[in-house]
Structure 1
Amino acid sequence: MNGPSAATNSPSTATNSQSPATNGSTIRELHGMEDFDAVSDLYAEIWGSEPGTSPLSAEAMRALSHAGNYVAGAYEDGRLVGASVAFFGEPIGTTLHSHITGAVMGRGVGLALKTHQRQWALARGLRRITWTYDPLVRRNAYFNLVKLGARPEAYLTSFYGAMDDAINGGDESDRMLAAWDLTAPTPPEVIELPAGAAHGLRDRGGRPETGASDADTVLVDIPDDIEALRRTDPGAARAWRLAVRQTLGGLLAEGARVVGFHERRRYVVQRTITPA
């Protein structure tokens, strides 16, 4: 689960319990119940959860922090504006799994949190960070693949089961498992499409239109705003979910890999080419 978030390719391998971020916010690790309560409330506000049903409880954050995992908050003028929670994952000793990151949008807070998280991981000898995100949310796909340089590793169908918050309610919780190689350079933001690239899924007037997906490079469009579509046209949102699951999920299951995100609206998928 990942909310609006961001990251960068800062080369630093050191981290502090408190550090100023480039956007003017301050990032610090959290250890007290008062801080965890504030984060839980912030998450509930961001996800539009019902009272008492935050995506992550203060008690769970307390346990994770006490066990040595990553729990950090971003502050502006003393006010909590974002937070991130991550725990050690497989393979042990190499990976941090970022379970949830939420921040106010449009102010660079998510980017500051991911920068801090990366430094924290590198300082502990870790080489990659993984997380899941909704493959239909354009801003998150662009941020994860282009700004950060992470790459999807698997398509996970209905990963969290039914969810009833304001963001995910009324839709199935399909997720993309993304992996961020902390030692690799960030790829260029603009990706050149090879000749012969074909649309396996195209946005046609707000609806998904399936095409041929047997080319070496397949393009998979996603909708302009899936969150708004869930509210205004649930049928179209459902059609997009199933079409992306079938096309993108099917390609990844066959061994294809996502190599980029083109024009902020489509996945670029490369088939594995076996030498003759």
Structure 2
Amino acid sequence: MSVDAWADYRRAAGAAGVEVRVLTGAALDGATDVWRAVWHEPVMERPLLTALTHAGNYVAGAFANGRIVGATAGFFGPPARATMHSHVAGVVPGLATGGVGTAMKLHQRAWCLDREVAAMTWTFDPLVARNAAFNVRRLGAALDDYLVDFYGEMTDGVNAGQGSDRILARWALDAPLPSAPRDLGPAPAILDVGEDMAPIIGAVPPGASAVSLAVPADIEGLRRDHPRLAAQWRSALRDAMLERWEAGWRPTAVGRDGRYLMEAL
């Protein structure tokens, strides 16, 4: 089925009240400002962004009323893979749920398809429930790999002391957006959230072919207020998910609350 990627972008941008534009020159400073507001330290500075754009890669910003409110950057993988890796995307604090991220992702998708790039990858923290739901339910991305401490020890204001496990998402850009995200249905929980916000770990029932894994709804708040408990969640999710992954299971759906469904494939 053919897709009109630019039409998808225009609908999302209109709903969010933004315009997404490719950035060059001095405008690249706006991207660094956005990321600094999100992560409290530089993520990618203008000299690197200048080199990336000069080499034909993607850096763009989302603008509302003339002000940059979001920014994203990606670079290409080896030619034979025809893949863009979307390395960083951020929206200024307070606007993360307003659809700006969707507009940026769909602009990046349309830009890639214009260049015959039909796949995009990126990593995300599997403990951030809203990102898991967005990637799978809104975009239709597949969850390809679990990467333990992918970035090593991180020092920014969001991730410091919390490990850097990531899931690799892969998005088929020429596929239609999901019209009706899959519901999880009943599945035994091997990881759940207790009343005290501590992880509750369960066993896989004999003969089960699907299980669910829940994460806290607000891991960022937990990291801020109870960092030791948040670090327990990193270990609990890693152990539970990796055991299933290594047995050939994969996450196949994500609920609105960020609950994962893993199934034996």
Q: TM-score, normalised by structure 1?
A: 0.86
Task: Tell me, yes or no, if the aligned pair for 2:119 and 2:173 is still in contact at 8 Å.
Answer: yes
Please name the residue that 1:251 is paired with: 244
Residue 227 of structure 1 is matched in structure 2 by 220
**Segment of structure 1 superposing worse, 136-145 or 105-114:** 105-114
Secondary structure of the residue aligned to 2:90 is strand
Q: Is 1:167–1:227's contact at 8 Å kept on the other side of the alignment?
A: yes
Question: Which consecutive unaligned segments of at least 5 residues does structure 2 have?
Answer: none
**Shift of residue 14, structure 1, vs aligned partner:** 5.6
Q: Kindly state the Cα deviation for residue 106 of structure 1 after the two structures are TM-superposed.
A: 2.7
Q: 2:232 aligns with which of 217, 239, 260?
A: 239
1:42 equivalent to 2:34? Answer yes
Pair 1:116-2:107 in alignment: yes
SS of structure 2 residue aligned to 1:172 = coil
Give the structure 2 partner of residue 89 of structure 1. Answer: 77
Deviations 1:189-219 (A, max 9, x none): 241425xx22111112211111123521010
Letter of the aligned partner of 1:271 in structure 2?
A: A
Q: Which amino acid aligns with 2:223?
A: R
Whether contact under 8 Å (1:256, 1:271) holds in the other structure is yes
2:194 aligned residue (204, 221, 244)? 204
Assess, with a 3 A threshold, how the Cα gap between structure 1 residues 38 and 265 changes in structure 2: closer, same or farther: closer
- Distance, in Å, in 1 between the alignment partners of 2:6 and 2:225 is 46
Residue identity opposite 1:123 in structure 2: D
Matched, 1:156 2:147: yes
SS of aligned partner of 2:176: coil
* Count of residues in Structure 1 that have an aligned counterpart in Structure 2: 254
One-letter code aligned to 2:190:
G
SS at match of 1:21: helix
Q: Distance in 2 between matches of 1:120 and 1:253?
A: 35
Partner of 1:57: 45
What is residue 22 of structure 2 aligned with on the other side? 29
1:5 alignment counterpart: none
Q: Tell me, in whole angstroms, the C-alpha distance in 2 between the residues paired with 1:84 and 1:233.
A: 30
Q: Aligned partners of 1:41, 1:177: CA distance in 2, in Å?
A: 26
SS of the aligned residue for 2:144 comes to: strand
| Aligned-residue offset at 1:255 | 2.0
**What letter corresponds to residue 193 of structure 2 in structure 1?**
D
The amino acid that maps onto 2:104 is L
Residues 170 and 230, structure 1, Cα contact 8 Å, conserved in 2:
no
Shift of 1:166: 1.5
Matched to 1:77, the amino acid is N
Letter in 2 for 1:173: S
| Structure with greater proportional helix content | 2
Instruction: State the TM-score, normalizing by the size of structure 2.
Output: 0.89
By how many angstroms is 1:139 displaced? 1.0
The residue that corresponds to 1:7 in the other structure is none
1:42 deviates by: 1.5
* Residue pair 1:19, 1:28 contacting (<8 A) in 2 also: no
- How much has 1:31 moved relative to structure 2? 1.5
Amino acid at match of 1:217: A
SS for the counterpart of 2:80 is coil
Residue 43 of structure 1 deviates from its aligned partner by: 0.6
How large is the RMSD of aligned CA atoms in angstroms?
2.2
* Residue 91 of structure 2 is aligned to residue 99 of structure 1: no
Question: One-letter code of the match for 1:42?
Answer: V
Question: Relative to structure 1, is the Cα distance of residues 143 and 234 closer, same or farther in structure 2, using a 3 angstrom cutoff?
Answer: same
Displacement of 1:91 in angstroms is 6.3
In 2, Cα distance between equivalents of 1:210 and 1:256: 18
Q: 1:14 to 1:235 in 2, by over 3 A?
A: closer
Identity of aligned residues (%): 41
Superposition deviation, residue 227 in structure 1: 1.1
Are the counterparts in 1 of residues 184 and 254 from structure 2 also a CA contact under 8 Å? Answer: no
- 1:79 counterpart residue number: 67
